[in-house]
A and B are shown apart, each in its own frame.
Chain A
Amino acid sequence: AQKVTQAQTEISVVEKEDVTLDCVYETRDTTYYLFWYKQPPSGELVFLIRRNSFDEQNEISGRYSWNFQKSTSSFNFTITASQVVDSAVYFCALKGIHGGSQGNLIFGKGTKLSVKP
């Protein structure tokens, strides 16, 4: 079975604080992909990043960074110097390659981030 757990339901920070959103996943696949999506109040899911299971290098994109650790099955997302525009629900998702799946994403329940001025 595949599963994504985002234990933090809601996080509230003050602008310019750093914040880390946790994501833990379960899969029996040896090859898989992990994703983060942002869902602002408008509702549209916005793709942020994709990582494959063979690439554990951390990635940085501007104020965003991602920490992928296979040993702990985690793919955490950090926003540095948060801004009000970062307020949204953030989803972590998993896609396995085997097991009959045609590539649909398994989403966590999301973490609602509120950044206050």
Chain B
Amino acid sequence: DTGVSQNPRHKITKRGQNVTFRCDPISEHNRLYWYRQTLGQGPEFLTYFQNEAQLEKSRLLSDRFSAERPKGSFSTLEIQRTEQGDSAMYLCASRSQVEEQYFGPGTRLTVT
């Protein structure tokens, strides 16, 4: 296994459109996290899955955001009616029982 993968790597969309990102975690990792990182800032937590259960959501995750992990493997993050403020790098991370999280390369979203 080569690590956490994310697709697409880059996404440019017009304001008001919907976008969906995918994360494939390291195969034996049952915990999966989504973070958002804006320029000059550290990553900020969005949501967390243990297996298929979404156990925590940040207040940053507005109603326009939804995340799923249907079979406890890959996860998707959808943003509906995108706004320019949604432009950011969206990072996915996974971990097993140990504490450190392993991050994917991110999806850079630009909303025009």
Interface residues of A, Cβ cutoff 8 Å to B: 4, 33, 35, 37, 42-47, 50, 52, 91, 93, 95, 101-110
**Given A33-B99, A47-B100, A102-B56, A107 and B43 contact (CB-CB distance below 8 Å):** yes
CB-defined contacts of B98 to chain A, threshold 8 Å: 50
Most buried by A among B43, B95, B104: B43
Interface residues of B, Cβ cutoff 8 Å to A: 31, 33, 35, 40-45, 48, 50, 55-56, 58, 89, 91, 93, 95, 98-106, 108
Whether the Cβ atoms of A104 and B105 lie closer than 8 Å is no
Whether the Cβ atoms of A44 and B31 lie closer than 8 Å is no
**Given A43-B89, A45-B43, A105 and B101 contact (CB-CB distance below 8 Å):** yes
What is the CA–CA distance of A25 and B16 in the complex, to the nearest angstrom?
39
**Given A35-B100, A105-B43, A43 and B106 contact (CB-CB distance below 8 Å):** yes
What is the CA–CA distance of A67 and B45 in the complex, to the nearest angstrom?
26
CB-defined contacts of A42 to chain B, threshold 8 Å: 105
What is the CA–CA distance of A35 and B108 in the complex, to the nearest angstrom?
24
Task: Kindly report which residue of chain A lies nearest to residue B43, judged by CB atoms.
Answer: A107
What is the CA–CA distance of A14 and B1 in the complex, to the nearest angstrom?
37
Total contacts A to B, CB within 8 angstroms? 62
Question: Of the candidates B40, B45, B106, B108, which one forms a contact with A105 in the assembled complex, judged by CB atoms under 8 Å apart?
Answer: B45
What is the CA–CA distance of A44 and B104 in the complex, to the nearest angstrom?
6
Beyond A4-B42, A45-B103, 18 extra complex contacts between A and B, CB < 8 Å? A37-B103, A42-B105, A44-B104, A45-B43, A45-B93, A46-B103, A47-B101, A50-B99, A50-B100, A52-B99, A91-B42, A103-B33, A104-B45, A105-B33, A107-B43, A109-B42, A110-B40, A110-B41
